[in-house]
């Protein structure tokens, strides 16, 4: 049966989403095209109907994963983002977790196209977290950006270190707790310099 254009697009999107999850869980080199397509429910031969190479899929699936992390910033204060990001639930959910923490090391050895995808995703995340009003204590946009970049780098590094330890290791939880408290203290200091934001309430469903 001939596949319609709409179905072909849906199939492609499904492969990208599947790849995004598998790469975060196993790394870019930890899953081959055949295994990836099988996980998505398709044959190996169908891969090249959608992608020119595995590198093309890596770049697109990376953008998909970074967009999912970006969605976590929508409608929440930086402090709420940090509480979720440095939670045990997020740490243990590698396949659905942050692409930066899961794949930054792998990305450093990938072609420029993949690294550019990372850079663009990180820029969007910084912009989302340092949107006007996100940090009331920041004197200007440049200061807000610098502070968010510090927070984001701190949080990603803490998650990577925690994941490097055994899941049931007390140290893994300690790394999360110590860094979460330190980042939240920094953000609280920023908030109190100029008083609380009138719109600082976080939606209850987050």
Q: Is residue 133 a part of any domain in this protein? A: yes
Nearest in space to 154 (alpha carbons), one of 135, 131, 181: 181
The answer to whether 197 touches 80, Cβ cutoff 8 Å, is: no
Between CA 6 and CA 205 the distance in angstroms is: 33
Between CA 117 and CA 201 the distance in angstroms is: 32
Q: Is residue 201 a part of any domain in this protein? A: no
As given in the structure block, the two tokens for residue 60 are 């697109």
Can you give the residue range of the structural domain that contains 140? 5-193
Q: Is residue 90 a part of any domain in this protein? A: yes
As given in the structure block, the two tokens for residue 96 are 């659905």
The CA–CA distances, whole Å, from 194 to 5, 79, 89, 148, 161 equal: 54, 16, 33, 17, 34
The confidence score (pLDDT) of residue 160 equals: 96
The confidence score (pLDDT) of residue 128 equals: 84
76: phi > 0 → left, psi -120 to 50 → alpha, else beta; which? beta
Q: Is residue 135 a part of any domain in this protein? A: yes
The confidence score (pLDDT) of residue 76 equals: 84
Q: What is the CATH number of the domain that holds 30?
A: 1.10.357.10
pLDDT tens string, the chain, 206 residues long: the values are 577 889 889 999 999 999 999 999 999 999 999 999 999 999 988 898 889 999 999 999 999 999 998 988 888 888 999 999 999 999 999 999 999 999 999 999 999 999 999 999 999 998 888 765 555 555 577 888 888 899 999 999 999 999 999 988 999 999 999 999 999 998 887 655 544 444 444 444 43
């Amino acid at each position: 049966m001939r596949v319609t254009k709409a179905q072909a697009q849906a199939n492609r999107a499904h492969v990208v989403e599947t790849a995004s999850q598998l790469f975060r869980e196993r790394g870019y080199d930890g899953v081959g095209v055949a295994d990836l397509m099988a996980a998505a429910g398709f044959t190996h031969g169908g891969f090249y109907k959608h992608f020119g190479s595995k590198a093309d899929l890596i770049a697109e699936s990376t953008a998909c994963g970074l967009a999912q992390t970006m969605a976590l910033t929508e409608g929440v204060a930086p402090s709420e983002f940090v509480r979720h990001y440095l939670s045990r639930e997020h740490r243990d959910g590698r396949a659905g977790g942050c692409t930066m923490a899961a794949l930054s090391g792998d990305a450093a050895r990938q072609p420029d196209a993949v690294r550019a995808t990372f850079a663009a995703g990180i820029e969007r995340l910084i912009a989302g977290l340092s949107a006007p009003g996100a940090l009331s204590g920041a004197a200007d946009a440049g200061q807000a950006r610098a502070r968010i970049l510090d927070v984001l780098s701190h949080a990603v590094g803490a998650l990577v270190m925690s994941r490097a330890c055994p899941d049931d290791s007390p140290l893994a939880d300690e790394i999360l707790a110590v860094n979460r408290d330190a980042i939240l203290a920094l953000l609280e200091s920023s908030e109190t310099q100029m008083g609380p934001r009138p719109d600082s309430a976080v939606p209850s469903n987050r």
